[in-house]
Amino acid sequence: MKVSIKLFAIVRDRAGVADLTLDLPAGATIAFAADLLAKKYPAIETFLPRCAFALNLEYTSISELLKDGDELAVIPPVSGG
């Protein structure tokens, strides 16, 4: 299944990419996708544990299951305002 990934701020800078698509096996969780991102972009690995995750525009837990067409965003600690 294909999941689109959005990276922001420090994670985007370290990975060198803002948007990508991951090809994942059925039943993959956000945790699985995060591990895969850390392997593809080792520069973000140490920062990932400080990040939240948003699935289809809502914060969600790392154990959530992904489905085809989902949009998963890595949300570093926010600093708006």
| Cβ burial 35-62 (10 Å sphere, 16+ → b, else e) | ebbbeebeebeebbeebebbbeeeeeee
49 touches another protein by CB under 8 A: no
Query: Of 19-27, 32-40, 49-57, 61-69, which segment contacts another protein by CB under 8 A?
Result: 49-57
48 touches another protein by CB under 8 A: no
Give me the least distance between CB of 25 and another protein, in Å please.
26
Which residues are near another protein by CB under 8 A? 6, 8-10, 13, 50, 54, 57-59, 73, 75-81
